């Protein structure tokens, strides 16, 4: 099973949009996928309108077994949602001796999938640290603007420090330029810089597309909301790249 966290401490760069559409796209390619929301904002639930029996905080606090918190929302597509109570669960985890590997232990029995895709919060606290110990790969969405590029560099250092000091072994396997607008000079310049500096791991850019903003309102992935949109094409391309990676 490939465990991929979608991570960037910078807010609003397209983490949740990428996590949802990557997971949905992989499931449409006959891969069994579990999408896990690790953000107390609960945007996965809001975007996919999941009717879950329990959420991640229930599993963390021991109120529900983890398997009961998994909802099947489409063929091959499974989800564990979160809500505000995950902040309390984070404090609960902080009291635990193995707090940085709490989720790794919790998810030990969850291995019947081809992919686990983890949507991280925009903060480098204990939840993101747990994502790094749970996952073998990190995908970093980065908005194609100057601040986005700075955030990317900070994010890479954070993951490298975690690998050195916290015993994680996360490979940064994709940098995903997001919100790309070819008419905008700063977008073009930033994309060129990212492509030069990270040529081996840089994905095709995800273009700015209003359909990607609309889809969550209808509880749909971009593939079922607007199959012929740019957003759908760009995320399909990402799915193909991910499947082609060794
Ligand atoms: N390519 C895109 N084109 C247009 N809008 C986009 C695109 N990608 C994401 N958005 C929109 O931008 C906003 C932020 O995206 P998203 O929630 O995915 O970011 P995030 O990194 O998960 O944010 P947070 O850090 O708050 O969790 C959302 O309204 C989303 O619909
Ligand atoms: Mg998000």
Q: Could you tell me if 188 and 182 are in contact, meaning their C-beta atoms sit under 8 angstroms apart?
A: yes
Q: How far is the CA of 63 from the centre of ligand 2 (A)?
A: 25
Q: HSE (CB half, 13 Å, CA atoms) of 43?
A: 21
Chain segment 181-231, per-residue pLDDT in tens: 999 999 999 999 999 999 999 999 999 999 999 999 999 999 999 999 999
pLDDT of residue 73: 97
The atom number, within ligand 1, closest to the CA of 141 reads 21
Helices 230-244 and 15-27 sit at what angle, rounded to 10 degrees?
A: 70
Nearest Cα neighbor of 155 from 10, 4, 5, 3 is: 10
Residue 159 near ligand 1, beta carbon < 6 Å: no
pLDDT of residue 160: 96
Instruction: Kindly list the structural domains of the chain, giving each domain's residue range(s) and its CATH number in brackets, ordered by start.
Output: 2-244 (3.40.50.300)
- Examine the pLDDT at 34 and tell me if it is beyond 80: yes
The atom number, within ligand 1, closest to the CA of 41 reads 27
d(CA 5, CA 124): 13
- Examine the pLDDT at 246 and tell me if it is beyond 90: no
Helix locations, 116-220, DSSP H: 126-134, 146-165, 185-197, 210-214
Counting ligands in written order, the one closest to the CA of 122 is: 1
d(CA 198, CA 162): 20
Chain segment 130-178, per-residue pLDDT in tens: 999 999 999 999 999 989 999 999 999 999 999 999 999 999 999 999 9
d(CA 109, CA 32): 16
pTM: 0.98
Residue 217 near ligand 1, beta carbon < 6 Å: no
């Amino acid at each position: 099973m490939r465990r991929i966290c979608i991570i960037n401490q910078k807010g609003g760069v397209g983490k949740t949009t990428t996590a949802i559409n990557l997971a949905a796209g992989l499931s449409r390619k006959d891969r069994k996928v579990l999408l896990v929301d690790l953000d107390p904002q609960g945007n996965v639930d809001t975007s996919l309108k999941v009717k879950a029996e329990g959420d991640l905080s229930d599993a963390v606090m021991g109120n529900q077994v983890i398997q009961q918190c998994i909802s099947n929302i489409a063929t091959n597509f499974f989800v564990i949602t979160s809500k505000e109570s995950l902040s309390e669960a984070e404090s609960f985890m902080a009291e635990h001796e193995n707090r940085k590997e709490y989720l790794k232990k919790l998810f030990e029995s969850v291995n019947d999938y081809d992919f686990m895709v983890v949507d991280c919060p925009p903060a480098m606290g204990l939840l993101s640290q747990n994502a790094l110990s749970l996952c073998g790969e990190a995908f970093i969405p980065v908005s194609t603007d100057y601040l986005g590029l700075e955030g990317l560099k900070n994010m890479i250092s954070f993951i490298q420090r975690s690998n050195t000091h916290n015993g994680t072994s996360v490979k940064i396997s994709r940098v995903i330029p997001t919100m790309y607008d070819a008419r905008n000079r700063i977008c073009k310049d930033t994309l060129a810089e990212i492509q030069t500096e990270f040529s081996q791991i840089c994905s095709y850019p995800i273009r700015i597309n209003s359909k990607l903003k609309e889809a969550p309102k209808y509880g749909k992935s971009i593939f079922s909301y607007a199959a012929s949109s740019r957003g759908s094409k760009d995320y399909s391309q990402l799915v193909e790249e991910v499947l082609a990676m060794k």
